[in-house]
Amino acid sequence: MHNDKIETLLNEITAYQASSPEELENYRMRFISKKSVVGELFAEMRNVPNEEKKAFGQQINSVKQAAEDKFQELIEAINQNGKSQQSTGIDLTLPATTLPVGGIHPLTATRQRIIEIFERIGFNLSEGPEIEDDWHNFTALNFPENHPAREMQDTFFLEKNPDIALRTHTSSVQVRVMENQKPPIRTLSPGRVFRNEAISARAHCIFHQVEGLYVDRNVGFADLKQTLYHFAKEMFGKNTQVRFRPSYFPFTEPSAEIDISCQLCNGEGCNVCKGTGWVEIGGSGMVDPNVLENCGIDSEEFTGFAFGMGIERIAMLKYQIKDLRLFTENDIRFLRQFKPML
| Residue 252 neighbours by CB under 8 Å, 6+ apart | 283, 284, 285, 286, 287, 288, 305, 306
Other Cβ atoms within 10 Å of 309 Cβ, number: 23
Contact 235, 225 (CB under 8 A): no
- In the complex, least distance from residue 228 CB atom to ligand 2NL, rounded to whole angstroms: 11
Looking at the Cβ atoms of 67 and 178, the one nearer to ligand 2NL is 178
Peptide bond before 162: cis, by omega within 30 degrees of 0? yes
User: Which is nearest to 292 in space by CA: 282, 304, 306?
Assistant: 304
CB-facing half-sphere around the CA of 46: CA atoms within 13 A: 4
Q: Where are the beta strands (DSSP E) in 126-184?
A: 131-133, 157-159, 164-166
What residues make contact with ligand 2NL under the rule CB under 6 A?
A: 171, 174-175, 209, 211, 213, 249, 251-252, 282-285, 287, 291, 306-310
Work out whether strand 206-216 and strand 185-194 pair parallel, antiparallel, or are unpaired: antiparallel
CA–CA separation, 195 vs 49, rounded Å? 112
Looking at the Cβ atoms of 71 and 143, the one nearer to ligand 2NL is 143
Looking at the Cβ atoms of 306 and 316, the one nearer to ligand 2NL is 306
- In the complex, least distance from residue 262 CB atom to ligand 2NL, rounded to whole angstroms: 18
- In the complex, least distance from residue 132 CB atom to ligand 2NL, rounded to whole angstroms: 13
- In the complex, least distance from residue 275 CB atom to ligand 2NL, rounded to whole angstroms: 22
- In the complex, least distance from residue 256 CB atom to ligand 2NL, rounded to whole angstroms: 8
- In the complex, least distance from residue 290 CB atom to ligand 2NL, rounded to whole angstroms: 10
Using Cβ positions, the residue closest to ligand 2NL within the complex turns out to be: 308
Looking at the Cβ atoms of 13 and 287, the one nearer to ligand 2NL is 287
Looking at the Cβ atoms of 245 and 274, the one nearer to ligand 2NL is 245
CA–CA separation, 156 vs 131, rounded Å? 10
Looking at the Cβ atoms of 168 and 240, the one nearer to ligand 2NL is 168
Three-class SS state of 128: coil
Q: Which helix (H) or strand (E) holds 110?
A: helix 106-120
Q: What is the dihedral of CA 216, 218, 220, 223, to 10 degrees?
A: -70
Looking at the Cβ atoms of 31 and 244, the one nearer to ligand 2NL is 244
- In the complex, least distance from residue 306 CB atom to ligand 2NL, rounded to whole angstroms: 3
- In the complex, least distance from residue 219 CB atom to ligand 2NL, rounded to whole angstroms: 12
Looking at the Cβ atoms of 35 and 245, the one nearer to ligand 2NL is 245
CA–CA separation, 264 vs 271, rounded Å? 9
- In the complex, least distance from residue 110 CB atom to ligand 2NL, rounded to whole angstroms: 14
Looking at the Cβ atoms of 63 and 213, the one nearer to ligand 2NL is 213
Phi/psi of residue 131, each to 5°? -100, 120
What's CA 276's distance to the chain center, in Å?
A: 33
